[in-house]
Structure 1
Amino acid sequence: MSANNVLEGAVKTAEGVMLNGFVLQPIVDKCEGCERIRTFEEQSFCSSYPAPERKWAGGRCNFATHVKAAAAAAAKVNPLKASKRAAKGR
């Protein structure tokens, strides 16, 4: 494993793994494949957020590098403006 995939400066404490004053929680299954995953003592953690499970609670983690954002549906068009544009020939 390369050095950039390891949490440097992390310390194992009674609360868990501590890094820069934050207690890190292990990643969840949805995190697998993300480029932000780092390891410490054979366990994987997110390098961007200490509680990955909470980031996925709302649907999609905004830090996830392995999940592509769904292409936005066609922009909502006001039907009145659309009919006026069509009438003008635009």
Structure 2
Amino acid sequence: MSTPGKNLEGAVKTANGVELNGVLLQPITEQCNGCDRIRTFEGQEFCSSYAIPSKKWTLGRCNFATHIKVEVVAKAKVNPLKASKRAAKGR
């Protein structure tokens, strides 16, 4: 799902693949589908933030992924006595 008009400006197709500013780009993986950072160049889709998207998914989820929402972990418990003292001081 790439946005028209936000393609990879200045990219060049070479024998090794697609090159942008001296960096060889690899196509996106299945996990990348739905991300807002996907750009299209000559019928293939590439990540606009990372040259080798498959490596970003090796340890879990990609930290650039816009289509995955992170669940917020419950806040740490606050000592009520300390909280009341802070409130009294005006912090």
- Alignment TM-score, normalising by the size of structure 1: 0.78
Aligned to 2:45: 44
Aligned to 1:3: 5
Secondary structure at the aligned position of 2:63 is classed as coil
1:12 maps to amino acid: K
> How far apart are the structure 1 equivalents of 2:24 and 2:54?
14
Identity %: 57
Aligned to 1:63: 64
Aligned residues: 81
2:59 maps to amino acid: G
Shift of 1:73: 4.2
Output aligned runs, 1:9-88, within 5 Å: 9-75=10-76, 85=79
> How far apart are the structure 2 equivalents of 1:73 and 1:61?
22
Where is the helix percentage greater, Structure 1 or Structure 2? 1
1:2 maps to amino acid: P
> How far apart are the structure 2 equivalents of 1:56 and 1:41?
24
Cα deviation code 1:39-82 (max 9, x no counterpart): 0010000000000000011101000001011222453x6xxxx8
Structure 1 runs (4+) greater than 6 angstroms displaced: none
2:28 maps to amino acid: I
The more displaced of 39-48 and 8-17 is 8-17
